[in-house]
């Protein structure tokens, strides 16, 4: 199956994960794609397993007697809940520059819709893709390139490698559920995977190699207030919603996602709800620097203590939970894995660039589980957005890079 055909097939499956679910996978619809992927790996001759948690493992036997380390490749099946994953309508265009009309405006009639346009002024890096073919959605849903581009590239690389007859050592692949809700490595079986090192194929622009990511934590704060008629509220009412707003106001104003870049960390308020009696705030806390990360968590605890002293013990409760850590701590002693990726790109005519991930991947947690696992690009951009796109030519180059890493070197 050709790469773009395979990719378009995968994005037709709705696979959004569900953070509120306590099951694994968190949504049953991920299993539908998992079954398809297992069948494709079976057809290629791999030994496969679809386990009870929805993880798809595939193992390709070596066709050389040369002793080589076993390399692994990992991508995730689920999509973000930031945009709808239902009725995705992808289309492939040859980009000639300027704005891209994802959906034409509808004229007149009940339910008529406005045009949806990806503007060059909003995304100036579109200019880098002029003359190339882009796969986009119709602007009402995400595309699903994160990370179905990675899944399609891994399987296409396997297919091409097997067809070529090139010598290779043992290769392991795994397609995981629930990466987008931070649980993609919860049930990943490092021992069964059996690789000596691996790569997540879950990055963006062609050429990017990532071996640094945020240290990450989540914070949930519940505020308990006391409601009473506002006419007789003096010295009696405790307004939980107002306290929630006060807490938010005490955090550093410039340490937020919309005002940071590169290695700069942040507090991100992901949700707030409340009334006089009860309020709730949800945050994610991020920083590449472990010491600064710990300082941010300490500040959150101090602010909760401060407000409890002001409004009464137990008014605010904080649940603070670490999510993952910067994989650079592990990869600093295993830089050969990164060097292999950089050389594989150069061999394919791509000038690599190492960039810090302003987020995380399954590879971050897997690296701390004992399997060094940096991240490779997939040729897509604008992930978690209605303006997500994948570049066909760059995806094909990513397949070449993956295949290069699979081939046994002389």
Residues forming the active site: 78, 179
* Strand pairing report for 71-76 and 171-176: parallel
Q: Assess contact for 271 and 206: CB atoms under 8 A.
A: no
Is 196 exposed, middle or buried (CB count within 10 Å of its CB: 0-12, 13-18, 19+)? middle
Non-local (6+) Cβ contacts of 340 within 8 A are 405
Distance CA 59, CA 62 (A): 10
Using alpha carbons, select from 232, 225, 185 the residue that is nearest to residue 311. Answer: 225
Q: What are phi and psi of 93, to 5 degrees?
A: -125, 150
Distance CA 203, CA 65 (A): 33
List b or e across 199-232, with b for residues whose CB sees 16 or more CB atoms inside 10 angstroms. bbbbbbbbbbbbbbbbbbbebebbbbbeeeeeee
């Amino acid at each position: 199956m050709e790469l773009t055909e395979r990719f378009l097939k995968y994005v037709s499956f709705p696979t959004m994960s569900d953070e509120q679910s306590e099951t694994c996978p968190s949504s049953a619809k991920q299993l539908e794609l998992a079954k398809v992927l297992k069948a494709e790996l079976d057809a290629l001759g791999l030994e496969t397993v679809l386990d009870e948690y929805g993880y798809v493992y595939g193992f390709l036997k070596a066709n050389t007697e040369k002793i080589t380390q076993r390399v692994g490749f990992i991508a995730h099946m689920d999509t973000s809940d930031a945009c709808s994953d239902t009725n995705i309508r992808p289309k492939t265009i040859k980009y000639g520059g300027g704005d891209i009309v994802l959906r034409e405006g509808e004229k007149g009639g009940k339910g008529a819709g406005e045009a949806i346009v990806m503007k060059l002024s909003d995304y100036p890096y579109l200019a880098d893709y002029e003359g190339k073919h882009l796969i986009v959605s119709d602007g009402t849903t995400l595309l699903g390139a994160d990370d179905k581009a990675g899944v399609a590239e891994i399987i296409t690389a396997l297919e091409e490698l097997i067809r070529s007859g090139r010598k290779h050592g043992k290769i392991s692949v795994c397609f995981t559920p629930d990466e987008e809700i931070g649980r993609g490595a919860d049930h990943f079986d490092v021992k069964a995977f059996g690789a000596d090192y691996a790569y997540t194929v879950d990055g963006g622009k062609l050429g990017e190699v990532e071996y640094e990511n945020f240290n990450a934590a989540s914070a949930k704060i519940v505020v308990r207030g006391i409601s009473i008629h506002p006419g007789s509220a003096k010295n009696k009412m405790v307004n939980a919603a107002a306290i929630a707003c006060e807490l938010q106001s005490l955090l550093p104003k410039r340490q937020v996602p919309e005002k940071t870049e590169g290695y700069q960390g942040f507090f991100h308020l992901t949700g707030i709800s409340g009334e006089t009696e009860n309020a709730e705030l949800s945050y994610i806390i991020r920083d590449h620097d472990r010491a600064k990360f710990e300082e941010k968590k300490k500040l959150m605890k101090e602010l909760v203590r401060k407000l409890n002293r002001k409004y009464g013990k137990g008014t605010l409760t904080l649940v603070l939970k670490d999510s993952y850590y910067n994989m650079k701590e592990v990869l600093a002693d295993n830089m050969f894995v990164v060097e292999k990726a950089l050389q594989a790109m150069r061999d394919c005519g791509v000038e690599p660039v190492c960039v810090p991930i302003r987020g995380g991947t399954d590879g971050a947690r897997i690296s701390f589980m004992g399997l060094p696992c940096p991240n490779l690009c997939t040729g897509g951009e604008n992930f978690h957005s209605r303006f997500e796109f994948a570049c066909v030519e760059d995806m094909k180059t990513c397949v070449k890079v993956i295949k290069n890493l699979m081939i046994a070197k002389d």
